[in-house]
Chains A and B, each alone.
Chain A
Amino acid sequence: MTALEIATAVRSGKRSARSVVDEYLGAIAEGDDDIHAFNMVTAAEARTRADEIDGAVAAGQDPGPLAGVPVALKDNLCTRGVATTCSSRILEGWEPPYDAHVVEQLHNAGAVVVGKTNMDEFAMGSSTENSAFGPTRNPCDLSRVPGGSSGGSAAAVAAGFAPVALGSDTGGSIRQPAALCGVVGVKPTYGRVSRYGLVAFASSLDQIGPIATTVADAATVLDVIGFTDPRDQTNRLPDPKQVSDTLSDGVNGLRVGVLTELSGNGIAPDVAARLQVAVGALESAGADVAKVSVPSAIYGLSAYYVIAPAEASSNLARFDGVRYGLRVDGSSTSDMNTATRSVGFGDEVKRRIMIGTYALSAGYYDAYYGKAQKVRTLIINDFNRVWYGDKFDLLLSPTSPTTAFSLGARTADPMSMYMSDVCTVPVNLTGQAAMSVPYGVGDDGLPVGVQVMAPVQGEPVMFRAAKVLEDSL
């Protein structure tokens, strides 16, 4: 069942939230030993919450648009009294004293949290292999990675452990695992969803978004979590539009560009072929599709892999053994800080902190961080020319250059892993919205995702195109 079908059944009293939740908890108990989508399953809390919702329905109240819908949360979203690990040893034992804004919103809409999902440690990675708790496997093929860093959330939805999940996307961490697992994944416009209670990775890039099996479910979740929250200073877009209302308005007359720099070189032929089928589907539905060039888009990776580690090195300074999680003793405070961080952080996190610290250090700031920030301006200007000069409504590319790769294939070579993000990082740098729509399979029978990109606050039109693509399959 889709999330919308569940909510409709629960709100009308046709089905109890408890029976829905029991069914999904059963699926997790049966299947998650093989997949390891979850770091923790909150079965008892979920059953209690489901009973509350059933009580509300029995009393004639409406629990909300996600009544009784099981939701999986990426383990970097704070849950009050429930361990939040970021898949890192350094947060061992930490139970946040508050809920993230998005968790409150889901709760208020009647959703039921069923667990916290595995991820690359602190969201740094593209395969969910950088987890202190072991990798997640792709439900479509257990020898393959689910993508990352929200690989646990994407795998949970793909495996039928929850109809919807939340992830976070700093450089593609919602869209790429969604593509590799064959589900819908949305990175909303920067500032659309409050990050209050999201453990920060790179604050000028991070955004929370939904993962779902259908475009309509993703729209419903975005409409629920995208409420203004004064606790995140960036969460103040003027007049954010709901996306569900216009979902079925089609693409007739829209101008859609195929982003040449992200659709040719380096893209696997079977992935590129699926993109061409998607182009045909949008044309058949009345869109005007043309090739379009954003020359600086190819420099996105170079800017991203300086800016994101730089911000991360600063954000992760707070993990010092004083206020939460792990402490490894030392004879002085700085020895204790160093010992704690050296034991608590995994390989990729250390590597990114090293890159970021170097890029921000005296003598190198202008050469790396300063320059990357200017490249970011260049990319924003190039995209703005396409949106506001050439009047394109949407852009298309593959979400990932390849289908899901094998576990272990890229772990020894960080650069090859970073290349997984080539199609997704530009939009984080610009702040625009983008989503991945599952669009058939490649030569290996594994899912291919098509990325639909929209200008800032272009979610309604983006979702209309995603719906057309979904319906064309």
Chain B
Amino acid sequence: MGQQRITRAECVHVAALARLELTDEELDRFTGQLDELLDHVAEVEALDLEALAPTMHPLLFPNPLRPDTPGEVLNRDEVLDQAPYVEDGQFRVPPVLGEAP
């Protein structure tokens, strides 16, 4: 294995971006495992990819538009029934104001 490709500090940052709180044990383990994967993935650095366009999707269709007519939709009450907390026909969450973005 070559140089370290991802550090523990970077893993801490990535976990925060992903809204995951990892234990010290998870952070240690994931840092090593991610590093090993990234090291394997680095094999593609040997390829000449300069002239190639990226593929986002295997089959490129022109973006289709459906007719602008109202169709069947899910029943609101049935959908809300599945949520952990609901109030006045809406999803209820803890305070969002004053939070860091």
> Which residues of A come within 8 Å of B, CB atoms?
94-98, 190-191, 204-205, 230, 233-234, 236-237, 296, 299, 301-303, 305-306, 313, 317, 320-327, 329-339, 341-342, 345, 347, 350-351, 353-355, 357-358, 361, 368, 370-378, 380-381, 414-415, 418, 429-431, 456
Closest beta carbon of chain B to A373's beta carbon, Å: 3
> Which residues of B come within 8 Å of A, CB atoms?
6, 10-11, 13-15, 17-22, 26, 30, 33-34, 36-38, 40-41, 43-45, 47, 49, 52-59, 61, 63-64, 66, 74-75, 78-79, 81-85, 91, 93-96, 99-100
Q: For B47, list chain A residues within 8 Å (CB).
A: 296, 299, 375, 378
Q: Indicate if the CB atoms of B37 and A355 lie closer than 8 Å.
A: yes
Q: How far is the CA of A114 from the CA of B29 in the complex (A)?
A: 39
Q: How far is the CA of A373 from the CA of B54 in the complex (A)?
A: 5
13 contacts between A and B (CB under 8 A): A95-B82, A96-B82, A190-B58, A305-B40, A320-B19, A323-B79, A331-B95, A334-B99, A334-B100, A342-B20, A354-B11, A355-B37, A376-B54
Q: Indicate if the CB atoms of A323 and B17 lie closer than 8 Å.
A: no
> What's the A-B contact tally at a CB cutoff of 8 Å?
166
Q: Indicate if the CB atoms of A336 and B20 lie closer than 8 Å.
A: no
Closest beta carbon of chain B to A433's beta carbon, Å: 11
Q: How far is the CA of A333 from the CA of B33 in the complex (A)?
A: 30
Q: For B49, list chain A residues within 8 Å (CB).
A: 371, 374-375, 378
Q: How far is the CA of A380 from the CA of B37 in the complex (A)?
A: 23
In this complex, what residue of B is CB-closest to A306? B41
Q: How far is the CA of A331 from the CA of B95 in the complex (A)?
A: 7
Q: How far is the CA of A320 from the CA of B57 in the complex (A)?
A: 27
Q: For A377, list chain B residues within 8 Å (CB).
A: 52-55
Q: Indicate if the CB atoms of A357 and B41 lie closer than 8 Å.
A: no
In this complex, what residue of A is CB-closest to B101? A334
Given contacts A236-B64, A351-B30, A456-B59, contact A299 B94 (CB under 8 A): no
Q: Indicate if the CB atoms of B58 and A380 lie closer than 8 Å.
A: yes
Q: Indicate if the CB atoms of A339 and B52 lie closer than 8 Å.
A: no
Closest beta carbon of chain A to B45's beta carbon, Å: 8
